[in-house]
Amino acid sequence: MSSKTTQTSLWPLTAWQDVEAAGRAAGKEIQPLDDLYRKYQNPLRVHLRQRFRTFPVILDNAEDLLQEFAAAKILQEGWLEKSDPRRGRFRDFLRKSLENLVWSWWKRQPEYKAWHSQKENETGSRTHATTTQPGREVPLPDETPAAEPEADQFDLAWIQTVLNQTLERMEADCKQPAPQQPKRGQIWEVFRARILEPIFHDAAPIAYEELIERFGLRSPTEATNMLLTAKRMFQRHLNSVIAEYERAGTEKMEIQDLKRVLGRLARTSKSSAQK
């Protein structure tokens, strides 16, 4: 997996029109800014804790630092306007800005001064106790922050918004009355039992014989046809959701990454359905 993918998998899709709207709202109204921050709050939190996981003092103050970042940067008039899709990804702009704020905060702390003195002292040793107050040991960090987290642990979290939207629309579609499809409501249930549950609960796919018994189907062929119909519906709604992101100005590379991850998910679904 490339380093580019590793750096992008955690972050949600960027709709630049939302970023621009939030930038225009700065100093006038809070809701667009609050919505934008809430969208990126968890990725920023995970990034901070992973990136500075060897810095105990920073970790102890992680939530306060996130709040400071929101107040000092995102909510400030004119700050979001510094982001520009022609100069790089919005998440890179956020990540670098957060790291700069954290570094500035860290360098003002007594623990940093102890750490810096220790690094400058050629004869110093990590066995020497360093304290900011009597009787309290200060755990000193490694010299550099930790590497970015691997992408795999974040893939499903990253696409959950798009996937949830797709599945919600598909379920609603399946439950719409359709005289020409009297068993239309069962399409969703068959899809959920045969495809979704194995993926999200790491379970074995339900056997066709059990599908037939559970949903009163006539034959394995009917169950297979329902799954094929369900997959077509899923793909149609997925394409619709992705098209909305594309119209919203989402970066093309993000869409490509999303399709790659969902393509892998679809291949997993296909493999499960064929067993």
Q: Let me know if 204 is exposed, middle or buried by CB neighbors in 10 A (0-12, 13-18, 19+).
A: exposed
User: What are the pLDDT digits (tens) for 176-196?
Assistant: 877 777 678 889 999 988 888
pLDDT of residue 1: 31
More confident residue, 205 or 1: 205
- Checking if the pLDDT of 129 tops 50, the result is no
Residue-range domain boundaries for the chain: 3-120, 152-274
- Give 140's DSSP letter: P
pLDDT of residue 255: 64
pLDDT of residue 66: 95
pLDDT of residue 235: 87
How distant, in Å, are the alpha carbons of 96, 205, 267 from that of 47?
Answer: 11, 35, 29
Confidence label for 9 from pLDDT (cuts 50, 70 and 90): very low
pLDDT of residue 102: 94
* Token pair for 37: 């921050």
More confident residue, 232 or 1: 232
pLDDT of residue 175: 87
What 3-state DSSP class applies to 134? coil
More confident residue, 234 or 247: 234
More confident residue, 274 or 164: 164
How distant, in Å, are the alpha carbons of 7, 164, 175, 254, 258 from that of 241?
Answer: 24, 10, 19, 14, 12
More confident residue, 248 or 191: 191
What 3-state DSSP class applies to 12? coil
User: What are the pLDDT digits (tens) for 48-60?
Assistant: 888 888 888 999 9
Q: Which residues pair with 250 in a beta bridge?
A: 15
Tell me the range of 104-118, 157-171, 217-231 where mean pLDDT is highest: 217-231
- Checking if the pLDDT of 218 tops 50, the result is yes
More confident residue, 116 or 270: 116
Q: Let me know if 185 is exposed, middle or buried by CB neighbors in 10 A (0-12, 13-18, 19+).
A: middle
3-class DSSP string for 173-238 = HHCCCCCCCCCHHHHHHHHHHHHHHHHHHCCCCCCHHHHHHHHCCCCHHHHHHHHHHHHHHHHHHH
pTM score, two decimals? Answer: 0.51
